[in-house]
Every structure is written in structure tokens, then in C-alpha cells.
Homo-oligomer: A and B are copies of this chain.
Amino acid sequence: MLIGKVTGNIASTIKHPVYEAQKLLTVDILTPSRIPTGESVVAIDSVDAGVGDLVLVTQEGRSAMAIVGKTEVPVRTAIVAIIDKIEIPPS
């Protein structure tokens, strides 16, 4: 799983039917110190996240499908939590 920050959303009219009711968000991937890694993904939202939220992203199809509640939905990337705090004690 990865830490990310929601940056925007995607509008799409022509899409595979199983995506009809899904909210698609763009997410920048961050390090635990919240530095952008340069990687971005498109994720399905399962926790009502919004732009600016720090989130936990899973990238496993089987998991992502379980989250949206239908195994036939072809998703691989999903937002599974809104992060309140990342605690990194000094080493």
C-alpha cells in the first residue's frame, strides 16, 4: 500500500459499464515524509475522500474489487483510508 494525496477528479462519459457508479480521483504518491515520488495514479474512492486529503491507496485488483463490493468491477487501484497522522520517530 502507498501513501497519496488526492489532487483532482476525472470525468468520463464513454466507459465500460461496470464503472458507471464509481468516483475516479487522481492521486499523487508520497513518501512517508510526504514528499511526492513523482508517481501518480487514478483510484476509485471507497471512503468519500476529497481533493487535498492524505490517503492510503491499495494497488491490488482482488482487494480493490472487494472494496467496491463487486468482484466483477475491473479496478486495480482504490483509496481505502483517509490518513490522520503519520508518526515517524527520529531514528
A-side residues, CB < 8 A to B, are 1-3, 7-16, 18-19, 24, 26, 28, 31-32, 40-44, 46-48, 51-52, 56, 58-67, 72-78, 80-89, 91
Q: Cβ of B76 and Cβ of A58 under 8 Å apart? A: yes
Complex formed: what's the CA distance from A73 to B78 in Å? 13
Residues of B within 8 Å of A86, CB to CB, are 8-11, 26
Q: Which chain B residue has the least Cβ–Cβ distance from A53?
A: B14
| Chain B nearest Cβ from A89, distance in angstroms | 6
Complex formed: what's the CA distance from A44 to B60 in Å? 14
Q: Which chain B residue has the least Cβ–Cβ distance from A89?
A: B51
Q: Cβ of A74 and Cβ of B84 under 8 Å apart? A: no
